[in-house]
Chain A
């Protein structure tokens, strides 16, 4: 199956997107910005539809709108965690706008928009891989510069502020990174299911690891394993790749969760064992 160009492109795109989503996901979990990430991914629909409507590609439209939304959320700084209501209202407005754009679109081909909605990794072209490579390089470059203060500001925002760390600036940069990542990941799983790659790898790492680098490693590995395995499964059994990715990610999370439940001994069993030993 790897002899086909389509599959080779899909594999390269999958590894690039899996790696970046794995990195970003750790911060999404620590910063508790899952809902904001969800909102940006859904705002993508409006960007894609609006972009195509004015003659741009769906990806370009999505990228522009995502970055604008990211900057707006970043400006809220650490308050974003408490602003679910605002995000929800803005999200529904943008979704409604997206629906309107799609309505205007009825007489045109909406293939590009549909691929953004549900994703199609097998449709990734060489040109798109080049764009993905550039976006990956930008994201990794940003992380190499800001990872330390971003992590500190994410873990302990009050102390970070007292040390004059530019919290708002870091928040804006983080949301721009998030917007770029979502724009990339939508190529594979679509805006509807991108959440699986933005939250689940970090959540799996949070279940398993103490420490920043270990969390990063587990998060990146779990995302990549899920994507590569999904490519194989979807090829062999003729299933949608995005469905396989989301299902595998959820399965991985469930397994790690069950592992934690089984490893930690419930208190009543501990008491029972202690009582037995005492007798």
Chain B
């Protein structure tokens, strides 16, 4: 459960009025709002990259510093440095508990788990293909499996549907549905293209004019042109 108490976020100046928000476990929520209203900043605050300017966030009643490992984040822009031959499978296995000191050890159960996740996200067919040769949609599925390898209880996705063609979007959303069903995790997704996923969501967090609203019903965002509905 994510709890925001009198939270104000931003880089140096607060970009919103203080708000309280409780996100229950296993919910799948869409985060909507115009550009620059603080959606990605909210994610960066949840993962601890930015400190709240006021108020606080707790995850399962723990401070952010202690709950950091429970969260997986897929940012909008990536900077993956892999060799020409490194595959998606290698990327996933090397990301497992990557924060622990020592040397990387790829044991049997990790291999098995990686294969299961690749199957789940529908990337098993190109898991050994060099990562740099994959298409945008294929890379996003690999990122999804990479994000899940550390058993997160919260998954944050920032514009995962951007740059995908309609077919790839549909496959990606199907993969998300399957993940939400099987992994029992809280999914927060920022997107300007909600019409692909709106029917699967449990609710929305709406960033609007310095204010943040939570609503469970779809109609509240119907007026919003920027979500593609």
Q: Which residues of A contact B (CB under 8 A)?
A: 29-32, 143-149, 151-165, 205-212, 215, 260
A164 to chain B, nearest CB (A): 5
Contact B79 A207 (CB under 8 A): no
Interface of chain B, main secondary structure: loop
Binds A, one of B82-90, B166-174, B195-203: B82-90
Nearest CB in chain A: distance from B150 CB, A: 8
A147 and B102 contact, Cβ closer than 8 Å, known pairs A154-B81, A210-B87, A212-B94? yes
A144/B102 contact (C-beta < 8 A), A156-B95, A164-B68, A211-B90 known:
yes
Contact of B99 among A29, A143, A152, A206 (CB under 8 A): A152
A163/B101 in contact, CB under 8 A:
no
B98→A212 contact, CB < 8 A: no
Q: Are B81 and A163 in contact (CB under 8 A)?
A: no
> How long is the Cα–Cα vector from A229 to B103 in the complex, in angstroms?
31
A207 in contact with B85 (CB, 8 Å): yes
In the assembled complex, B108 has its CB within 8 A of some CB on chain A: no
- Across the interface, B83 reaches (CB within 8 A) one of A29, A160, A164, namely A29
State how many angstroms separate the Cβ of B48 from the closest Cβ of chain A: 7
Given A155-B81, A158-B78, A205-B83, CB of A210 within 8 Å of CB of B101: no
Q: What's the Cα separation between A212 and B85 when bound, in Å?
A: 11
Question: Are B95 and A159 in contact, CB atoms less than 8 angstroms apart?
Answer: yes
Most chain B CB atoms below 10 A, which of A149, A163, A212: A163
B28 contacts partner chain A, Cβ-Cβ < 8 Å = no
Q: Decide if the interface of chain A is mainly helix, strand, loop or mixed.
A: helix
Can you offer 30 A-B residue contacts whose CB atoms are under 8 A? A30-B81, A30-B82, A30-B83, A143-B103, A146-B101, A148-B97, A148-B100, A148-B101, A148-B104, A151-B94, A155-B81, A156-B95, A156-B98, A158-B75, A158-B77, A159-B146, A160-B98, A162-B47, A162-B49, A162-B71, A164-B68, A164-B99, A165-B98, A205-B83, A206-B85, A210-B85, A210-B90, A212-B94, A212-B104, A215-B83
B91 at the interface (CB under 8 A from A): yes
Q: Using CB atoms, name the residue of chain A closest to B105.
A: A148
User: How far, in whole Å, are A182 and B191 apart by their CA atoms in the complex?
Assistant: 48
Contact of A147 among B75, B81, B99, B104 (CB under 8 A): B104
Known A-B contacts A210-B128, A210-B130; A163 and B98 likewise in contact (beta carbons under 8 Å): yes
Contact A164 B48, beta carbon cutoff 8 Å: yes
Knowing A30-B82, A147-B102, A156-B80 touch, does A162 contact B73 (C-beta < 8 A)?
A: yes
Contacts known (A160-B99, A163-B69); A31 close to B81, Cβ less than 8 A: yes
Of chain B, the residue at the smallest CB distance from A165 is B99
Q: Which 10 A-B pairs have the closest CB atoms?
A: A152-B98, A206-B83, A162-B47, A147-B103, A210-B85, A163-B99, A148-B104, A210-B87, A165-B99, A162-B73
* CA distance in complex: A206, B87 (Å): 12
**B contact residues around A154 at 8 Å (CB):** 81
Give complex CA distance A161, B146 in Å.
15
Q: How far is the CA of A163 from the CA of B73 in the complex (A)?
A: 9
With both beta carbons as reference points, the residue of chain B lying nearest to A157 in the complex is identified as: B79
Cβ–Cβ < 8 Å partners of B86 in chain A:
155, 210-211
Contacts of B103 in A (CB 8 A): 143-144, 147-148
What B residues does A29 contact at CB under 8 A?
83
B residues 137-191 near A (Cβ < 8 Å) are 146
Closest A-chain residue to B74, C-beta based? A159
Nearest CB in chain B to that of A161: its residue: B49
CB distance from B84 to the nearest CB of A (A): 5
Question: B84 contacts which chain A residues (CB < 8 A)?
Answer: 206-207, 260
User: A148 touching B102 by the CB < 8 A rule?
Assistant: yes
Q: Are A145 and B69 in contact (CB under 8 A)?
A: no
Q: How near does chain B come to A57, taking the closest CB pair, in angstroms?
A: 34
